Amino acid sequence: MTDADVTSTLSALTLEQKASLLSGFDFWTTKSAAGADVPAMTLTDGPHGVRLADMDAGEMGLANAKPATCFPTAVTLASTWNPALLERVGGALGVESKALGVSVLLGPGANIKRDPRCGRNFEYFSEDPTLSGDMAAGLIRGIQSQGVGSSLKHYAVNNQENDRMRVSADVDERALREVYLASFERAVAGGNPWTIMCAYNQLNGTYVHQHKWLLTTVLRDEWGWDGLVMSDWGAVRDRLAALEAGLDLEMPARIGHPTDQQIVDAVRAGDMDEALVDTSVRRIIDLALRTADAREASAEWDQAAHHELAREAAAEGAVLLRNDEVDGEALLPLDPARSVGIVGEFARTPRYQGAGSSQVVPTRLSTALDALRDARGDVPFAPGFAIGEGPASYASAADLIAEAVRVAQSVDTVVMFLGLPGAAESEGFDREHILLPADQRDLFAAVAAVNARIVVVLSHGAVVDLREITAPAILEAWLGGQAGGAAIADLLTGAAAPSGKLAETIPLRLEDAPSFGSFPGEYGHVRYAEGLLVGYRGYDVRDADVAFPFGHGLTYTTFEIDDVRVAASGEGVDVATTVSARVTNTGSRAGAEVVQVYVGDVESTVLRPVRELRAFAKVALEPGESTVVSFDLDDRAFSFWHPVLQRWYVEGGEFEVAVGSSSRDLAATVLVDVVGDSETLPLTELSTIGELRRHPALAEEMEELLASVEPALMAMINDIPAETVVSQGWIALTPEKWAEFLERAAN
């Protein structure tokens, strides 16, 4: 259907019909328009699986959903650092959505991981906007390749669950632009989602669903995005203000408080332009047209193939944090000649997804215990600790630990499964600490006292304090989805090689986090006191020790990155920089390395992070194989948001371009001179002497006026408003001349 067809459909609708289309019919579907070609659409939770409510079982129950493939959650997918893989996962999600008659899958989430305690960190990608935006874009492209819409969420600055429906996130403009909005901007540019979902919270005192600057000025006018904006479920406080701001669709239907009539009444009274209603209705019609194929439900897809894709993604997203030698050999992959015992209930009862609206009923579920026994025979097992999802009855904690110790004493190597139970982290609340449960820490200490050969496998959705987990080998498996158990066995046995990298820093302790002290806020406000210094940016600027840095991850081979070259051309907004590096597999088995490019400003007039991720590429190589990877960086790689000029600004000078395998494992750093753009600040009556001296239209004359000023006095008055200096007669600048300066600068 063409634009003319959309216009024709729109013109056939009454005002009442148009208003009705702008809110849901029920909890999961939109309204149709009788007599017009505007069908209802089904929207349902994602983002790592299709959670289509089973209406026969009750639509609100989180577990009452039709079976679908439970892929790894975003915390795992982000650790793959592989947007192409996420595009494949997104394609599978699109296939299943279409098979189940779903028009829009609600995801992915591109919110930044500001604090390790956020209860929904498992559903978000990274603490870095470049990585987060690129991974979200890959998933979006895959979903929408199947004619199913995605809904990028939660726009914006939804970085906590505590008081999330009311709290005001108070963020300065540079942090907002350079970190929090940048993640969404990159996802929009790379994925072009058909819908975007607003967050519940306020931004600097205004609810985001009625924040015109956010929904219209930035999203549409600046970024050029033309899709549909929907509310989070039950978020809308003022429907008319939200529509004026740019919110198209209110979800779900309001029971007893319909807002459709409010829109009709406002138009009839002349308080709202009907053209505004038409604009939003056009977006509804356009989305319905785009998703037409998704309404032909078939309920069929290749479940086995999707399960294997989930297994591949889980393996690629696991991060080998540590693999030290014991008795002259690395513990992983497991030596087939050495006996193995398994400890930890998570091996038998896997923690494979997050809790809350994204819970998926899997089509099948693998466990690490079964998979390891398939690979290694009937290895001994002890649960070690109790979890709510496990068997109905357990022995006492002391007996469980004693049994685990006996297993550890009987084998060469212990594989211990630790992590967080589902009740410890979920949508709806934030964690109060990042410690593993006390019984698991006690278990580790007891087993470590009798066997030094321990491999720890971790399952959880957000980082944990690992100071007490001193195992020589640690595999961070995150939440691996329904095939995560088999993927863990693949990695432990060496059938697959780890290639995941950390998408967030693991601190030594919670108190080291840059946001500590200003999370989750108080009395309805949370102040983003760390500003730009989120995640590794904050640790690096303080040169703080961390447990494991952003971008870190080991594998079963070794890599060398060398021959790093950087070439810059152009200036200001036309700056273009090419970065290349050679990466070589110097080990004895195949593997994959993630080449990471960081940029830092050597000297800046504003606070900037020591370095920031600007590009990355995952490279798979055979032993001895080399390849050259290249990256093209544009002006945004060197820019900061200028709060006075209200634009992205490249400040000229030297920049460090570093290439390596993590934010703190840098193979080479190259200095490059970048020609910046001009900085001509608008002058006001409160502009300082120093700002007048730097203004190109006034600089020469100002230096003549200041020629006789003593250096000591010059240092003092440089940052004083010129109006004050003039009124005090400290320099030979008359009020009339000062007024002339202001007029000349304005022109």
Catalytically active residues, by annotation: 232
Cα–Cα dist 471/434, whole Å: 18
Q: Is there a contact between 558 and 323 (Cβ–Cβ < 8 Å)?
A: no
Cα–Cα dist 349/455, whole Å: 18
Instruction: Give Dmax (Cα) for the chain.
Output: 94
Q: Is there a contact between 198 and 219 (Cβ–Cβ < 8 Å)?
A: no
Reference 78, options 151, 148, 127, 119; nearest CA is 127
Token couple for 52: 């289509």
Cα–Cα dist 88/258, whole Å: 40
Phi, psi of 654, deg, nearest 5: -85, 135
Cα–Cα dist 298/305, whole Å: 17
Token couple for 719: 């940052």
Q: Give 475's Cβ-side CA count (13 Å radius).
A: 34
CA 178, 182, 187 angle in degrees (round to 5)?
170
Tell me which amino acid residue 622 is: E
Q: Please give the DSSP secondary-structure letter assigned to residue 221.
A: I
Q: Is there a contact between 502 and 551 (Cβ–Cβ < 8 Å)?
A: yes
Q: Is there a contact between 153 and 196 (Cβ–Cβ < 8 Å)?
A: yes
Token couple for 58: 């009750």
Reference 52, options 376, 353, 359; nearest CA is 359
3-state class (DSSP) for residue 728? helix
Cα–Cα dist 677/464, whole Å: 44
Cα–Cα dist 197/654, whole Å: 40
Distances (CA, A) of 654 to 18, 230, 266, 485, 643: 56, 44, 56, 48, 22
Q: Give 260's Cβ-side CA count (13 Å radius).
A: 22
Token couple for 658: 């570093």
Tally Cβ neighbours within 10 Å of residue 111. 28
Tally Cβ neighbours within 10 Å of residue 543. 7
Q: In sequence order, what are the residues at sequence separation of 6 or more whose Cβ sits closer than 8 angstroms to the Cβ of residue 247?
A: 198, 209, 210, 215, 229, 230, 231, 236
Q: Is there a contact between 116 and 507 (Cβ–Cβ < 8 Å)?
A: yes
Token couple for 223: 């970024």
Cα–Cα dist 404/673, whole Å: 60
Phi, psi of 480, deg, nearest 5: -90, 10
Distances (CA, A) of 546 to 27, 242, 442, 513: 44, 43, 23, 10
Question: Which residues lie across from 330 on neighbouring strands?
Answer: 325
Token couple for 659: 């290439």
Element (H, E) at 458: strand 454-459
| Exposure b/e, 335-353, CB count within 10 A at least 16 = b | beeeebbbbbbbbbbbbbb
3-state class (DSSP) for residue 197? strand
